[in-house]
């Protein structure tokens, strides 16, 4: 019996499939329900580290509810930005859950950005105040863009303050994202201005094993929510200990990273998003709570998104069929 072919989807093909952010958010929220119920399979992600603060991770997962199984092979290299290269690159393989035969191989850059933003929006839905209207974006790269796009799908945002170590990048972000989302975005020169007094704060700098965090206690206002897309790289331990609730997207992975030397001064999480979304643990309970989510990035999120990309691409006849 011949194995047939595998569908190759370039980054251009993945983007051309045009899976909209609301659909990615819906896919991930359904996935977190399944995760909270224990109906998924995802081991902690192993990795190799060829340079300081760089990683190449293998991320396998199986989501039976939508018959999505596969692996993402993804790298994050902070030094790439100085070379004019993206911080995050990689490939994702989908397999047939019935036979194990590979179905598709695709660029994972767009998927990683979109699902990370969607995970922040879901965390905010359950942990931020429902009337949240102001947002601080710390680090105005790819994740800063996708996180704001996802939050704009979930909240009526009236004001955004954007900070980056390069003020020029913050200005460009404000102009481009303001036009895209039709909202008021103010670039700020000082980090505290993108944190203090805002309802939702997202930090998305490089992930560092031995960070020199800058966000201090007292900066995050009472009643605010913070999404840490960059582990604890921007946040001092004392600032995180001010949180009334600190959640993560996966408790087992957070324990794994602690064993690897990350999160040395970060409090333990009280729940993961699966437990919260499935109703097993409470989300926000009072208006004045400070809440924090440290989303590590899950292979389940990738598979929930990739299967939708694959099915749209097939229907739209995108990509190239390669013989196995």
Tens digits of residue pLDDT in 49-100: 999 889 999 999 999 999 999 999 999 998 898 898 988 899 999 999 999 9
- 3-state SS assignment for residue 187: strand
The CATH classification number of 5-111+300-323 equals 3.30.1780.10
What lies within 8 Å, CB to CB, of 285 at 6+ separation is none
Q: How far apart, in whole angstroms, are the C-alpha atoms of residue 127 and residue 121?
A: 10
Q: How far apart, in whole angstroms, are the C-alpha atoms of residue 35 and residue 244?
A: 24
- Among candidates 50, 34, 102, which has minimal Cα distance to 298? 34
Residues of the chain with CATH 3.40.50.720: 129-297
Q: How confident is the model at residue 37 (pLDDT cuts 50, 70, 90)?
A: very high
**Quick one: pLDDT at residue 180?**
96
- Among candidates 70, 48, 66, which has minimal Cα distance to 57? 48
pLDDT higher than 70, residue 1: no
Q: How far apart, in whole angstroms, are the C-alpha atoms of residue 290 and residue 136?
A: 15
User: What CATH architecture is 129-297?
Assistant: 3-Layer(aba) Sandwich (3.40)
Q: Please give the structure tokens belonging to residue 127.
A: 């942990």
Burial of 255 (0-12, 13-18, 19+ CB in 10 A): middle
**Quick one: pLDDT at residue 119?**
98
- Among candidates 116, 134, 120, which has minimal Cα distance to 223? 134
**Quick one: pLDDT at residue 206?**
87
Q: Please give the structure tokens belonging to residue 180.
A: 């895209």
Q: Is 35 a catalytic residue?
A: no
**Quick one: pLDDT at residue 203?**
98
Q: Active site residue: 72, 125, 161, 245, which one?
A: 72
Say if CB 160 and CB 102 are below 8 A apart: no
Q: How far apart, in whole angstroms, are the C-alpha atoms of residue 278 and residue 297?
A: 19
Residue 31 C-alpha from the chain's centroid: 14
**Quick one: pLDDT at residue 44?**
82
Say if CB 247 and CB 220 are below 8 A apart: no
Residue 73 forms beta bridges with which residues? Answer: 58, 91
What average pLDDT does the structure give for the chain?
Answer: 95
Q: Please give the model's pTM, rounded to 2 decimal places.
A: 0.93
How large a percentage of the chain has pLDDT more than 90?
90
**Quick one: pLDDT at residue 208?**
87
**Quick one: pLDDT at residue 248?**
97
Lowest mean pLDDT among 81-85, 189-193, 300-304, 317-321: 81-85
- Among candidates 173, 251, 208, which has minimal Cα distance to 76? 208
Q: How far apart, in whole angstroms, are the C-alpha atoms of residue 78 and residue 75?
A: 10
Q: How far apart, in whole angstroms, are the C-alpha atoms of residue 143 and residue 320?
A: 28
Over residues 228-273, the pLDDT tens digits come to 999 999 999 999 999 999 999 999 999 989 998 999 999 999 999 9
- Among candidates 64, 143, 69, which has minimal Cα distance to 111? 143
What is the mean pLDDT of the segment spanning 119-132?
98
pLDDT higher than 70, residue 2: no
């Amino acid at each position: 019996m011949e194995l047939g072919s595998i569908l190759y989807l370039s980054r251009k093909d993945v983007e051309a499939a045009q899976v909209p952010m609301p659909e990615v958010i819906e896919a991930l929220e359904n996935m977190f329900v399944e995760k909270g119920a224990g109906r998924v399979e995802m081991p902690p992600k192993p990795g190799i580290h060829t340079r300081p603060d760089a990683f190449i991770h293998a991320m396998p997962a199986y989501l039976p509810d939508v018959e999505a199984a596969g692996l993402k092979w993804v790298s994050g290299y902070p030094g790439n930005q100085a070379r004019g290269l993206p911080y995050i690159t990689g490939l994702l393989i989908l397999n047939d859950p019935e036979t194990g035969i590979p179905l598709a191989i695709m660029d994972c850059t767009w998927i990683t950005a979109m699902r990370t933003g969607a995970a922040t929006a879901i965390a905010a839905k359950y942990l931020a105040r429902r009337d949240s209207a102001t947002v601080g974006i710390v680090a105005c790269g790819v994740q800063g863009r996708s996180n704001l796009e996802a939050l704009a799908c979930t909240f009526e945002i009236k004001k955004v303050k954007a900070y980056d170590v390069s003020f020029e990048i913050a200005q460009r972000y404000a102009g481009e994202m303001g036009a895209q989302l039709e909202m008021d975005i103010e670039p700020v020169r000082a980090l505290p201005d993108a944190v203090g007094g805002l309802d939702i704060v997202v930090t998305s700098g490089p992930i560092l094993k031995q960070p020199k965090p800058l966000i201090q206690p007292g900066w995050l206002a009472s009643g605010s929510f913070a999404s840490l897309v960059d582990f604890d790289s921007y946040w001092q331990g004392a600032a995180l200990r001010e949180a009334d609730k600190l959640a993560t997207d996966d408790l087992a992975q957070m324990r794994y990273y602690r064993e690897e030397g990350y999160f040395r001064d970060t409090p333990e999480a009280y729940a993961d998003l699966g437990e919260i979304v499935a109703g097993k643990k409470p989300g926000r309970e009072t208006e004045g709570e400070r809440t924090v989510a440290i989303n590590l990035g899950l292979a389940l999120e990738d598979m929930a998104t990739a299967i939708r990309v694959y099915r749209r691409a097939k229907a739209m006849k995108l990509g190239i069929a390669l013989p196995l």
